[in-house]
């Protein structure tokens, strides 16, 4: 009686296991890479209801971040400026610009503009801007080089492991308090020493416990 299965059929189970391993590894690898905030979130660049350029305002004109995001040093949130803040200048400059029409409308109607949020942490993570600025973490550390962006783009993954990298070793991102909004700041030669000194004098001990950010 001839054999029902040819001899090479013996290799099918082994091949199946091999394929399975590759599929699983591929699947894990796929989600590892394509599912991570590094891939999904970095580079997020939504268009805004108004072609506001940070490059123009914060870069070319050299306005301080805190002119508009005025409560960032007092609160967990970096506030979006009210339309009235825009009108401080734009009631004199580009009074009749078509691009600024939504702002003038907002002032007139009392209905604020709806901006699209770029940097977003999950709702269960409680980030505090004021605490980070107070410690000497600069805007650039998390937001990238905003003064060079026409349209704000997310540059960092804002993932938990990314947060923890800095919380475990904050010295790389510390600087003197008067330099936190300076995007062109160059660390001095003795930066490592300076950062260490900042860390000890200001008792900087970023939490790495769950309760530091989650409640």
Q: End-to-end distance of the chain based on CA atoms, in angstroms?
A: 72
The rounded distance, in Å, linking the Cα atoms of 111 and 209 is 41
Q: Which of 12, 126, 150, 190 binds other proteins (CB under 8 A)?
A: 126
Over the window 176 to 215, marking each residue x when it contacts other proteins by CB under 8 A and - when it does not, the resulting string is: --------------------------x--x-x-xxxx-xx
Quick one: which of 180, 147, 185 has its CA closest to 61? 147
Name the residue nearer to other proteins (CB basis): 62 or 110. Answer: 110
Residues 37-56 that bind other proteins (CB under 8 A): 40-41, 44, 46
Q: Which of 84, 101, 192, 193 binds other proteins (CB under 8 A)?
A: 84
- List b or e across 111-121, with b for residues whose CB sees 16 or more CB atoms inside 10 angstroms: eebeeeebbee
The rounded distance, in Å, linking the Cα atoms of 5 and 17 is 19
Name the residue nearer to other proteins (CB basis): 169 or 190. Answer: 169
Chain-centre distance of CA 52, in angstroms?
18
Q: Applying CB under 8 A, which residues contact other proteins?
A: 40-41, 44, 46, 71, 74-77, 79-85, 106-107, 110-117, 120, 122-124, 126, 128, 130-131, 134, 202, 205, 207, 209-212, 214-215
């Amino acid at each position: 009686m001839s054999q029902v299965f040819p001899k090479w059929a013996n290799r099918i189970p082994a091949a199946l296991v091999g394929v399975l391993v590759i599929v699983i590894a591929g699947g894990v690898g796929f989600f590892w890479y394509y599912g991570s905030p590094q891939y999904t979130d970095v580079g997020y660049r939504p268009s805004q209801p108004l072609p506001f350029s940070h490059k123009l305002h914060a870069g070319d004109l050299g306005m301080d971040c805190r002119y508009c995001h005025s409560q960032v040093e007092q609160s967990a949130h970096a506030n979006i400026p009210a339309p009235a803040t825009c009108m401080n200048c734009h009631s004199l400059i580009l009074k009749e610009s078509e691009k600024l029409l939504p702002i003038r409308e907002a002032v007139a109607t009392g209905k604020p503009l709806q901006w699209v949020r770029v940097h977003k942490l999950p709702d269960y993570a409680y980030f505090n801007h004021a605490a980070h600025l107070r410690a000497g973490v600069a805007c650039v550390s998390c937001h990238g080089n905003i003064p060079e962006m026409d349209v704000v783009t997310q540059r960092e993954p804002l993932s938990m492991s990314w947060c923890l990298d800095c919380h475990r070793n904050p010295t790389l991102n510390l600087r003197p308090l008067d330099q936190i909004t300076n995007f062109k700041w160059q660390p001095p030669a003795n930066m490592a020493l300076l950062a260490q000194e900042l860390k000890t004098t200001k008792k900087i001990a970023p939490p790495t416990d769950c309760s530091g950010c989650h409640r």
